[in-house]
Structure 1
């Protein structure tokens, strides 16, 4: 492949890769068929072609993987391995991921339709996460409590046991890394359930994990459906923790399953309907308009923190929306294998029809359709940038998470009104605003009900800061050392030193 790969380069690599895909589950360090022999088709949404028929795991496979994971944990060759030992293995895994970067990116592009440049960026993020968590392993200290001379009190950190990670389809590999990175770093055995819409990169990662030297049974991958293998893991009496990214509805189900079983810990990163506020004092409206368009149309709008609610101060609203529409014109979807494509295909037919249905509802509710609103011609599942203006809080498109390239524009007159509108949501995953007024920046930042706030940017951050939400957007945190803490247990030790 050339130094700057072209569409033809990626097409050739895709043809070679799809001829030899790993489609089996990874259990007990081996690739195996599902116990039932059942499979499901994973489809390229850009073409409609079936990529492969993948093993469809169910409760029997979950039970076997849990038994293997528990044996690995009790064996202790990972859980009790010195932190520096775990660190070296995970750094090897990151290096292997880097050497297979194009393959991992291509698998996600083919599987769920994201542009190849975006997929490459995701892989880089996943590698960065594994490296960051590996480097954090030997830097998370326990404590010595303050006591009298006749006592020594220690606070130790220990792995939880078995972590089941259930990850979504929109950022398949990156979300996987965000879950398994800290869970493995803390010494747990991990069972990964990738989305049935995008299982291929997870199975490829399993082979790299084995090559990196993760002990037998410490990392396993069970492709399949949420209502079968996912539910079995959630109800297992041996699984100690569920780590989940996905819809709020499924998150609520997982909490119920935890209560019905062993009160396992459940860390959730769920839905979002994030407000992006533009105040009239912005210095460069053209730049802000470009970022506001990217905030919703990046990854076809299939982003949990997509800036799907755009709140614009009315004194600049008309001019700003015109600038945004001009910026969005260059963000039309194209072949995901073409490095020039900003957007790709919607992940599958179900999601495609769901997005189109929301667009129809927006029109019926009286919102002003300023751009898009229709699917594109061709065999793939493509929807162009869609912008509604004049949206109000009582409209479905202004309240519910669409998870597609659909932007709702609201107007406001005062700062108080903007804050109230931004917080008027069941969700609280992300929020952002644009202003040059430092006093306003400090006021608004504190008053937005959100797990993360972006000021004069959208979606900024790296592995040093936590990612997660409040309200019905969930309760867990990915990234940073805070995620590593979530996958460890505190143990208090009280020693009497009296003779």
Structure 2
């Protein structure tokens, strides 16, 4: 008798998306070659096949894009908010109409399971554009006027100008929506650089902008490497920098713009603590633990990569967690049954492997879920470490992969102390049946987002951001408007 259900393959069709053999840069409403003619290839992480050839932006291209955005800013910022809202609503509807196409594209280019792109990424992308479309004509009432002793009064907040935006590869289209939607709603124009390993969904979004009739130059997309991002941040006519990515690059950006007067939001790394108390419903908590660290193969800045379990239930939780991990299905990301997809790149896979080896060398005990890894592509089995102390590298460094470190605690105060013992401060989770304990512990955690009896739940109305080396500023919600306004 089989110990688990057998699943027949259920692949999503690749034919729903048409990927061109080559793509240019999107500047001033048109696709164009890079000034120096350079190109690079984007590869599917699950098969290592070349998907397309993409133009590689250089300094001259950055300058062209910023100038196009500056020209467009005058008319775009002068539009009534209700008119800007119409474009955002139109973009949101087109995203919904093309969501199946975009989900397949994102899975091919990123490696994450189609269930995630279809059921999480794309609905949230559309929701962000719908949400900020609703704000576009209400900025006078957002509470961002001049502050006086009597309250908030004064002139209408104004857009900053040209926003230079740099997004990562783990949620390419969703991070694009997080940044472009509030920027356009507030009257700014945009030059966005997607990650070099996942450029395709941003280029498809450029086509959506044309389909929606967005005025030329309002959104510009520059594909390329880190030098293009550095040139964008350094450009003297960029008024606002928005970056999501590693803490190291975030620090470099902060140094680069210091003293320039540019406004910035930095959403950086994390080492989130998922705290399970002895009264937590174990099965529910295990599902939350799995979601917290193995969603998108753990390539999530707010992943619950540190599991803090109360000592009295440690063995029970660990047994249930290992049993659950043994049922996860790793393989073809386009298969609707797949739980664990491919790691985004060979470089990221090597980093995960090196940190896991360090964990073993330092004496932590490794356990990996039994699964067969495909022969092609970049894969890593769901893994957890026990016997972990706060000094272990795997408990301190952001691995950005499907690797969980398990620690224990005895009292709520010890849980808080261990959770806060990190240079990061992006997210945390609490699992308990006591509402009073949730409130008491949450108020002591130095994390931008604290989930209670759930994890990795997002909503466009809720602000997201971190403390300490997880960055500063907030994206999402009313708070996300302020970063794009002169208040």
Range of TM-score over shorter length = over 0.9
SS in 2 for 1:95: helix
Are the aligned partners of 1:162 and 1:190 in contact in 2 as well (CA < 8 Å)? yes
The aligned runs of 1:241-320 (5 Å cut-off) are: 241-259=240-258, 262-282=260-280, 284-320=281-317
Are the aligned partners of 1:387 and 1:409 in contact in 2 as well (CA < 8 Å)? yes
From 78, 81, 91, the counterpart of 1:80: 78
1:7 deviates by 4.0
Distance verdict in 2 for CA 1:367–1:199, change over 3 Å: same
- The match for 2:451 is 454
TM-score computed with the length of structure 1 as normaliser: 0.92
Are the aligned partners of 1:169 and 1:198 in contact in 2 as well (CA < 8 Å)? yes
1:258 & 1:471 partners in 2: Cα distance?
Answer: 19
1:126 & 1:114 partners in 2: Cα distance?
Answer: 16
Deviations 1:201-237 (A, max 9, x none): 00010111122121111110000011x2101111111
Are the aligned partners of 1:309 and 1:408 in contact in 2 as well (CA < 8 Å)? yes
1:451 deviates by 0.5
2:249 & 2:31 partners in 1: Cα distance?
Answer: 28
SS in 2 for 1:268: strand
Structure 2 unmatched ranges of 5 or more: 1-8
Task: Work out whether 1:442 is the aligned partner of 2:435.
Answer: no
2:83 & 2:465 partners in 1: Cα distance?
Answer: 30
1:154 deviates by 2.3
- The match for 1:355 is 352
1:128 & 1:21 partners in 2: Cα distance?
Answer: 31
Are the aligned partners of 2:12 and 2:104 in contact in 1 as well (CA < 8 Å)? no
2:371 & 2:361 partners in 1: Cα distance?
Answer: 15
TM-score computed with the length of structure 2 as normaliser: 0.94
2:231 & 2:303 partners in 1: Cα distance?
Answer: 31
- The match for 1:10 is 13
Structure 1 unmatched ranges of 5 or more: 1-5, 491-499
Are the aligned partners of 2:263 and 2:483 in contact in 1 as well (CA < 8 Å)? no
Task: Work out whether 1:211 is the aligned partner of 2:214.
Answer: no
Deviating above 6 A after TM superposition, structure 1's stretches of 4 or more consecutive aligned residues are 144-148
Deviations 1:413-435 (A, max 9, x none): 11111110000000000011111
1:374 deviates by 9.3
1:57 & 1:373 partners in 2: Cα distance?
Answer: 43
Are the aligned partners of 1:22 and 1:204 in contact in 2 as well (CA < 8 Å)? no
Distance verdict in 2 for CA 1:84–1:454, change over 3 Å: same
Deviations 1:109-157 (A, max 9, x none): 1111011111122011100001100011112226587799xxxx72321
From 95, 98, 107, the counterpart of 1:97: 95
Aligned residues: 474
The aligned runs of 1:132-151 (5 Å cut-off) are: 132-141=131-140, 143=145
Are the aligned partners of 2:311 and 2:410 in contact in 1 as well (CA < 8 Å)? yes
SS in 2 for 1:272: coil
> Larger deviation: 54-63 or 481-490?
481-490
Aligned CA RMSD, in angstroms, stands at 1.9
